[in-house]
Amino acid sequence: MNRWEYVRLSDYCEIFPGYAFDSSKFTDNDVDIHLVKGENLHQGYIDWTNAKRWNLSDWDSLKKFHLRKGDIVVAMDRPWIEAGLKWSSIKEKDPKALLVQRVARLRTRKTLSQYFLRYVIGSKVFEGYIKPIVTGVNVPHISGTQIGSFKFYLPPLPIQRKIAAVLSAYDDLIENNNRRIAILEKMAEKLYREWFVRLRFPGHEKTKFVKGVPEGWEVKRIGELFRTASGGTPSRTEPRNYEGNINWFKTGELKQTYIFESEEKISQLGLESSSAKIFPAGTVVMAMYCAMADISILANSGATNQACCVFFPIDPKISSVFTFYLIKGALPHMIAFAHGAAQQNLSQELIKSHKVFLPNVKLIEAFTEKIDALHRLIKFSMEKTYRLKSSRNRLLTRLMSGKIEVENLDIQFPASMKEEEVVAHG
């Protein structure tokens, strides 16, 4: 590490803010160009499914706002949320896209590898730098100058590229695994919709329908089907409350079907001194605050904060997987009735009063038996991704600090990195 320089990011990287596109001209046309807004940025990936679009005919005239493979994008408004820093890199398979105002695009100069930069921005060190400097009451934000003022240790370019190659191998495995998860989730979602939305369940041809509803189905309030509960937040004035190993999940972490480990942990003292309580593995957890359409199943036991709502079926024949899809399907309708002056919130009372169609128990049991195999694969694949990410993050910290030396290692570079100079600096 003796040859590593302590440098300022802005000296080695162009930090470019996006364009103030007129929101009244956004489109939803599939042929138009995707826009990268802060709301579409997550922790290392972009949610393209909900991205707004811009007229394709303007593409050539907006060249300086183009995004290309390898570009790093960082949210400047609300850059840090409970789930972590909002940033991503543009990948080869990502769609044609334009940079929107209040999102920064980072492109390196020749002595800083674009691939190495991806791990600088994705590091806990950069996140730890950003988190305390976010300012603003209504819209917490950072500036391009603040991003550029970040300082880090920069190794010689050959070492940068070797570090990036090692970490990219993990990212490739994670990306492949995530593609498999996405396919499995679509299959599970399709099965639920086929049976309980399109009403093409087994035996539907012989079922009598009354006013469009299958005979034997009932309209029930969620509160008649489930006991609900929420959690609590231990006082932060007592540091010992957060010195334990009990999972403590927050709404920003409910981003996938199964969640395994919380970002923060609480102690037994924190649990007993607050309204937080431990919920068992298999519990369905939904975000109540900010009216986010986020819902997950606990892969491991854990507590939650008060912004989460958990569901316990009154009838044990209602499985957690059926509960997950039933509540997930009802969530957009509940959000439409969300309330709150500063932010759109749900309450347990509103949730419990919401009405849903409940199929007969035999159909619920048949669905559970059918979908369990898919969910076992989803959970197994998500756990694999979780372990890969954990290993990569531990390795990233050691590689970026120089604790693991790679200078004399014979490392195989992925094909994408062999073309780095053309892609990142062309």
Question: What does the alpha-carbon distance between residue 26 and residue 54 come to, in Å, rounded to a whole number?
Answer: 6
> Which two three-digit tokens encode residue 23?
């929101």
The count of other CB atoms within 10 Å of the CB of residue 377 is: 16
Confidence check: pLDDT of 420 > 60: no
Question: What does the alpha-carbon distance between residue 116 and residue 125 come to, in Å, rounded to a whole number?
Answer: 14
pLDDT in tens, 370-380: 999 999 999 99
Q: Which comes out higher in pLDDT, residue 333 or 221?
A: 221
What pLDDT is attached to residue 425? 42
User: By percentage, how much of the chain surpasses pLDDT 90?
Assistant: 81
Task: Give the CATH number of domain 5-154; options: 3.40.50.300, 3.30.2320.50, 3.40.1160.10, 3.90.220.20.
Answer: 3.90.220.20
> Which two three-digit tokens encode residue 12?
């080695």
Confidence check: pLDDT of 426 > 50: no
pLDDT in tens, 136-177: 877 899 999 999 999 999 999 999 999 999 999 999 999 999
What pLDDT is attached to residue 260? 96
What pLDDT is attached to residue 336? 79
Average pLDDT, integer, range 104-129: 95
User: By percentage, how much of the chain surpasses pLDDT 70?
Assistant: 95
Confidence check: pLDDT of 347 > 70: yes
Confidence check: pLDDT of 423 > 60: no
Strands 226-229 and 308-313: antiparallel
What pLDDT is attached to residue 115? 94
> Which two three-digit tokens encode residue 52?
């707004």
- The answer to whether 55 and 27 have CB atoms below 8 angstroms apart is yes
Superfamily holding 177-378: DNA methylase specificity domains (3.90.220.20)
Confidence check: pLDDT of 198 > 80: yes
Average pLDDT, integer, range 336-365: 83
pLDDT in tens, 389-417: 999 999 999 999 889 989 888 887 876 67
Closest of 174, 170, 162, 178 to residue 417, by C-alpha:
162
Band of pLDDT at residue 421, cut at 50, 70 and 90: very low
Band of pLDDT at residue 332, cut at 50, 70 and 90: confident
Confidence check: pLDDT of 422 > 50: no
Burial class (CB in 10 A: 0-12, 13-18, 19+), 376: exposed
The count of other CB atoms within 10 Å of the CB of residue 114 is: 24
β-pair partners for 67: 97
What pLDDT is attached to residue 62? 97
What pLDDT is attached to residue 339? 56
What pLDDT is attached to residue 234? 97
> Which two three-digit tokens encode residue 271?
């649990």
All CATH 3.90.220.20 domain ranges in the chain, comma separated: 5-154, 177-378
Average pLDDT, integer, range 350-356: 94
Band of pLDDT at residue 95, cut at 50, 70 and 90: very high
Closest of 9, 374, 413 to residue 180, by C-alpha:
374
Q: What value does the mean pLDDT of the chain take?
A: 92
What pLDDT is attached to residue 372? 96
Band of pLDDT at residue 344, cut at 50, 70 and 90: low
Q: Which comes out higher in pLDDT, residue 2 or 302?
A: 302
- The answer to whether 130 and 124 have CB atoms below 8 angstroms apart is no
What pLDDT is attached to residue 1? 67
Confidence check: pLDDT of 271 > 90: yes
What pLDDT is attached to residue 267? 98
Band of pLDDT at residue 424, cut at 50, 70 and 90: very low
Average pLDDT, integer, range 245-264: 94
Question: What does the alpha-carbon distance between residue 270 and residue 162 come to, in Å, rounded to a whole number?
Answer: 43
Band of pLDDT at residue 291, cut at 50, 70 and 90: low
